[in-house]
Structure 1
Amino acid sequence: MSKYPAKTHARNTLSYYRSLAAAAAAAANATGTSSSSEKPLFALTAPSLTLYPHCDQSQPFRQDRYFNYLTGAHDLPAAAVLYNSAADRLTLYLPPIDADDVMWSGLPLSPTQAQEKYDMDVVKYHADLAADVASTNVLTIDDRNKSVLESLLSSSNVTISPTFKEALEEARLRKDEFELALMRKASAISDVSHRAVMSALPIETNEGHIHAEFVYHSMRQGSKFQSYDPICCSGTDCGTLHYVRNDQEMADKQLVLIDAGAEWQCYASDVTRVFPITGEWTPEALAIYKAVLDMQTQSMEGVKPGVKWDDLHLLSHRILIKHFLELGIFKNTKSPEEILEARTSVGFLPHGLGHLLGMDTHDVAGHPNYEDPDPMFRYLRLRRPLEPGFVVTVEPGIYFNKFLLEPYLKDPKHLEIINTEVLEKYWAVGGVRLEDDVLVTETGFENFTKVTTDPEEVARIVKEGIAKGRSHFHVLA
């Protein structure tokens, strides 16, 4: 595989920087040097290894995503990178060699090795940075970077530039083929791990077993880190969106929901699957699962350049309302459009249809509006038209969370719509969410996620796993 295209990423960032600066200047009717002639110095630093408080053990290292975008050095702590746009030169600066660290951890990467590994024009050490910058002002993105760079330069000629940060985010938003290959790899690892979880019953009797099974199979495939802490819940806990306990027994419950994604060289996957614990769907669980699958299928089919994410989100609510009217959870005393306007469906789908995906699970540049007065859009993390190169998650859900629904069940406006007697049958379902990772292409979309969502296929996988497990235990006995 060729090197991570750091130099191209630096040039992309410069292009967006100049465009954003020109737009800002035009908006302010500014005069002076044209933004197209700006020749800034961009600099970023990687975090250093950090010890736990009162302990000599390091916390797990997580590379800064902005630094990674300009270097591809996903596993390199304490380094710095400088892009000299006037010279079109990208330079990586390695930390000095520490003899004590070498004794415990071995020799670090040498400049020659780094030059071979990374897409850099030059590789040097920290001590060379000051001479390369001289008295020129350096742009960076936040206080941490500013503080580290000023210590390396022994000067204060470092400026935090919101325009530089925004330019990095706009560049990160549109994935190139190298990045897409990393994301496809992460998704393929997650496919195997999700299927392994479905297949591993009956040895998975606790939510913690689900968690362990997914991480085990991800690490077996080379993914040392997860994109985020896996969400492994069962029964009514499936109605908690970002459930964190992952430790409850699963007996006498209907469903398991696992939201987990392996990471590959700082690039994320984010996948959610739901399956029946016994291998048999209850009528209520199957009805809700099919409703969510319909929501996901139709929403995903709408993914293409120019489409507004808001509109696909609205579509998912319209499909939810259609199914709830058919199931009797919503009364037919009002039209689907009246129910949509009442926002009653938000109680059952309180989050957005999905979000941007990249180096961060909830990736940058989505332009959300968490102050939106409309509850249907308040938690929508993507509020801009789709473009080729965007990677998004498509993850509708339906949840029966008593705490979230309590205000709706006390509000006469919503009680005109919700049939509480029918709703009573669905509390035990807890919640269903289906989530795939999707690339926006020039003509439509590509779904990176291959693990099945077909309810019959899911049930078959679970039942086959249960049968194999029982046979195995019988032989051992």
Structure 2
Amino acid sequence: MINELDDPASLHALKTFQELVKLLPSTEQAKPQILLLAGGIVTYRDDTGTEIVFRQESNFYYLSGCQVPGSYLVVAYQAGTSLAETPSVDLFIPKAELADMMWSVPPPSIEDAAKIHDVTKVDHPAALPGVLETLAKAYPDALCHTLPRGSPLFPSLPGKYTDILLTSGDKTLAVTDAYLLPALQRARLTKTEAEITAIRQANQISSRAHEVVMRVLGAAVRGAINKAEGAGVSRPLLPGEWLIEKEAEAEAIFVASCRREGSVHQAYLPIVAASTRASTLHYCCNDREFAWGPVKPHDHHNGNDLAHSDKHLDPQVLLIDAGCEWNCYASDITRTMPVGNGGKFTPEARAIYELVLEMQKESMKLLKPGLHWDDVQLLCHRVLIKGFQALGIFKSPSSPGSGSWNSAEAILASGISSAFFPHGVGHSLGMDVHDVPEASKPAVNPTIQIEETKGHESFYSFLRLRLPLEKNMVVTVEPGCYFSPHLIAPVRDSKHINLDVLKRYEGVGGVRIEDVVLITEEGYENLTTVLSDVAWIEGVCSGEL
């Protein structure tokens, strides 16, 4: 129930206070600062007693390392005192009741929790009012910080606790929810060594899960999945007899692989999209079979049928965007793999895959502290446009009847590439897959300069990170190329598009390649270990490797 980072909670608290003080008016910076947070609680489906899987609220876990539902946290800091070096951290966990022991795993004892967590003191919530009264009297001019009160986005903090602070002592203490969330998000934007270790572990587990799916596909191609007598008739199929013929079956194998390695949660709903459904960015239903049918004369013929199947798979891609958590830290990996055609990409799918891979490789060459993320987004559009011109999807000045209006720069300025690459190239990642959104894309952002050289404004509409990179940031690099009929419809008749060539590629659906990278002092480290080059992907999915 409890997982703790190697970092002490006080280190994260200190980092948060350092950011908090920067946000305060100068008249408030020297005052004692108190944080009061409620942890998440177990919730239930609608009006039933059916529990929804519990996952601790990220900010609470960041400051406590505690995953016990119904807990509270009080942290105190004051500049110029010993609390400035080591803030006091008091954790309050529920007392184990008989019903807890009967129905579920009870919370730990105070003694056990004190051994697990690096906090000043552990007690039960019944002791919280007394602690708050003591703090209010000891620091009568303190400023108490909470997460936004009344917001459905954060655990509810009972008003009785803030009332104690406001009515104890000489009543000069103030309570505010204006500063804590931005301070926490800014602190969480860069990661400590222990956080990086947790993210690396999540990515290694998820990388292996992606490879497991590919290898099951490859085993079927080479006829290596054999069913013993009675399998699927007088007894259920065993895991070694499973085929992947549906999106849901691929998802099940991915999630099972993560669970077998000790991961409790997926960091987000897995996206498992086959065929043209890969053009839907957050396709989470995962409820369709692969595309089946007779092999048409113009298709590449399947090298092998799936084992024990009299059906033929249409050549298609399978896009899997999925990643698990490790101790509340996320991974986020996308791989696009060939299905049918003997585990090999069609020429059209391979061309789009290689273009997206080039977009990612060129992006990674830029990565280092100080680089503005907008520059990576712009580069991806430049690479996409040149690649489309090489394939003939976009016209070039040398195309029949064309001219300078079809130059790469003219197409860039038109913004038409957003119809094929509509999302951002990546985002912050940490305790949440789209981590610290307000800090990653500030509402007031002096780092963004509106210039013509930055390309079309549509490139940045859905970009979740708009800052210069910093050492120890963790970000995803996830370019993609999609043939969504909804996005293409408004631009289909564009003077920049060769419609006959476009039609040849629309059946690909979509390709995305996503890795998680750590920004280092000189560049980056790729935390994702599953490979993505065409030879390896095809070798595994065809069963040749």
* Fold agreement, TM-score > 0.5: yes
Find the counterpart in structure 1 of residue 183 from structure 2.
167
Aligned counterparts of 1:182 and 1:228: Cα–Cα separation in 2: 17
1:148 aligns with 2:157: yes
1:61 shift after superposition: 0.5
Find the counterpart in structure 2 of residue 237 from structure 1.
277
1:160 shift after superposition: 3.9
Aligned counterparts of 1:368 and 1:128: Cα–Cα separation in 2: 38
- Structure number, greater radius of gyration: 2
Find the counterpart in structure 1 of residue 317 from structure 2.
255
Find the counterpart in structure 1 of residue 333 from structure 2.
271
* Stretches of 4+ aligned residues off by more than 6 angstroms: 369-373
Unaligned runs of 5+ in 1: 26-32, 468-477
1:146 shift after superposition: 8.3
1:112 shift after superposition: 1.1
Residue identity in the other structure for 1:216: A
Residue identity in the other structure for 1:376: F
Percentage of identical aligned residues: 39
Task: Answer yes or no: is the 8 Å Cα contact 2:278–2:482 preserved in 1.
Answer: yes
Q: 1:433 to 1:159 in 2, by over 3 A?
A: same
Q: 1:270 to 1:103 in 2, by over 3 A?
A: same
Q: 1:204 to 1:270 in 2, by over 3 A?
A: same
Aligned counterparts of 2:20 and 2:102: Cα–Cα separation in 1: 43
Among candidates 70, 89, 94, match of residue 78 of structure 1? 70
Residue identity in the other structure for 1:457: W
Find the counterpart in structure 1 of residue 541 from structure 2.
462
Residue identity in the other structure for 1:81: L
RMSD: 2.1
1:358 shift after superposition: 0.4
Residue identity in the other structure for 1:389: N
1:153 shift after superposition: 6.0
Task: Answer yes or no: is the 8 Å Cα contact 1:236–1:431 preserved in 2.
Answer: yes
Unaligned runs of 5+ in 2: 167-173, 221-242, 293-313, 398-405, 451-455
1:130 shift after superposition: 1.3
1:152 shift after superposition: 4.6
Q: 1:370 to 1:458 in 2, by over 3 A?
A: farther
SS of the equivalent of 1:256 reads strand
Among candidates 489, 492, 510, match of residue 431 of structure 1? 510
More helix by share: 1
1:391 aligns with 2:400: no
- Answer with 456-465 or 262-271: which moved more: 456-465
Find the counterpart in structure 1 of residue 225 from structure 2.
none
Find the counterpart in structure 2 of residue 474 from structure 1.
none
1:104 shift after superposition: 2.0
Q: Deviations over 1:122-177 (max 9, x none)?
A: 11111111121114663101225685242456647383422111111111111000
Residue identity in the other structure for 2:255: V
Q: 1:220 to 1:299 in 2, by over 3 A?
A: same
SS of the equivalent of 1:143 reads coil
Aligned counterparts of 2:22 and 2:431: Cα–Cα separation in 1: 24
SS of the equivalent of 1:247 reads coil
Among candidates 283, 296, 301, match of residue 360 of structure 2? 296
Find the counterpart in structure 1 of residue 115 from structure 2.
116
1:276 shift after superposition: 0.6
Task: Answer yes or no: is the 8 Å Cα contact 2:267–2:330 preserved in 1.
Answer: yes
Aligned counterparts of 1:107 and 1:437: Cα–Cα separation in 2: 36
Aligned counterparts of 2:45 and 2:176: Cα–Cα separation in 1: 29
Spell out the pairing of 1:279-290 with structure 2 (5 A cutoff). Answer: 279-290=343-354
Q: Deviations over 1:224-261 (max 9, x none)?
A: 21000100001100000000220111132411000000
Task: Answer yes or no: is the 8 Å Cα contact 1:261–1:270 preserved in 2.
Answer: yes
Aligned counterparts of 2:284 and 2:65: Cα–Cα separation in 1: 31
Aligned counterparts of 1:172 and 1:370: Cα–Cα separation in 2: 19
Aligned counterparts of 1:320 and 1:11: Cα–Cα separation in 2: 44
1:370 shift after superposition: 12
Aligned counterparts of 1:53 and 1:303: Cα–Cα separation in 2: 46
Among candidates 31, 41, 52, match of residue 34 of structure 2? 41
Find the counterpart in structure 2 of residue 409 from structure 1.
492
Paired residues in the alignment total 451
Aligned counterparts of 2:378 and 2:431: Cα–Cα separation in 1: 27
